[in-house]
Amino acid sequence: MKTGSTLKDSRKLTHSSKIKVKPLTKQAIAIRLTLTALFVITVYGFTVFDYGDTNFMSGLKETFANFKTMFFEASFSRLTITEAIYQVLITLGLAFLTTVFGAVIALFVGLLAAQNLSNKVVSNTIKAFVAFIRAVPTVLWVLIFSVAAGLGSVAAVIGMTFHSIGYLIKAYSESFEELDEGVIEALKGCGANWWQIVFQTVIPSSMTYLISWTFMRFEINFSVAVAMGAAAGAGGIGFDLFMASGFYFDLREIGMITYFILVLAIIFEFVSIRMKVNLRETH
């Protein structure tokens, strides 16, 4: 009897319960209209674009043929494997150097940017300046500093470091602000000064986040260093990729260099996952 009553009750609930659909808000309507307009403009642009004597199907066929040559017939013609590894190490050095410089500077400035560790005026001023730094692309910062230092690795390191500082200050300060303010107040009540609070509580408690954000920025700096090798003449594997594509148009070498970069990206992702697992286990 109880089983039958429960079945009847469940049927009543299923029939009586209705799925609530949220009404469309002005924001959702604006987003959908914007996406629809962009889709229509894109399709219209492809249809009315003047392709000249180029046939779309033949161009598509040649594109697939180039991809086949690039990725299935990849080989070095101008570079050797030893030279390619050396150029990759240069790119890794640029990424590592800019990450270390940016992390050290951002650590101290990030402490001042955290509202629970600094004055509110100082914190808001630093965050506003950092937002401006992040709004400007890294390539533009490198070109700005190249006016003074000239195109090359020096301008690339300064520009990449400058943008890394802005990125890491935001990440570090938000990690510091997540700390329980009760702990800080308790330490202040015990007579601990600002430096003791920072080095004995704030940094040890935020170490997991600091390492994760720093390694993430290292991955970003590696990809930026590849681009800067071509845009700013910083050297490394990016410059060889630029030469193979822009000057020699060697599709096979482009594919081989791309494989080198892809393997490094996979290694970075694997190391990042292992690092996060180890940090979770230790904490």
Is 57 part of any domain? no
**CA–CA gap between residue 136 and residue 45 (Å, rounded):** 29
pLDDT the model gives residue 21: 56
Is 93 part of any domain? yes
pLDDT tens by residue, 191-227: 778 888 888 888 888 888 888 899 989 988 998 888 8
Band of pLDDT at residue 36, cut at 50, 70 and 90:
very high
Residues contacting 208, CB < 8 A, separation 6+: 279, 280, 283
CATH number of the CATH domain containing 102? 1.10.3720.10
Total structural domains in the chain? 1
Is 68 part of any domain? no
**CA–CA gap between residue 111 and residue 202 (Å, rounded):** 9
Is 190 part of any domain? yes
Is 33 part of any domain? no
Can you give the residue range of the structural domain that contains 137? Answer: 82-282
Please choose, from the candidates 145, 143, 137, the residue with its C-alpha nearest in 3D space to the C-alpha of residue 230.
143
Whether the CB-CB separation of 97 and 157 falls below 8 Å is answered with: yes
Average pLDDT of the chain to the nearest whole number: 82
Whether the CB-CB separation of 226 and 265 falls below 8 Å is answered with: no
Is 19 part of any domain? no
Count CA atoms within 13 Å of residue 46 on its CB side: 7
- How much is the average pLDDT of 148-161? 81
Please choose, from the candidates 178, 184, 181, 182, the residue with its C-alpha nearest in 3D space to the C-alpha of residue 201.
184
pLDDT surpassing 70 at residue 97? yes
Return the minimum-mean-pLDDT range out of 14-23, 133-142, 165-174: 14-23
pLDDT surpassing 80 at residue 282? no
Is 92 part of any domain? yes
Kindly report the pTM of this predicted structure.
Answer: 0.75
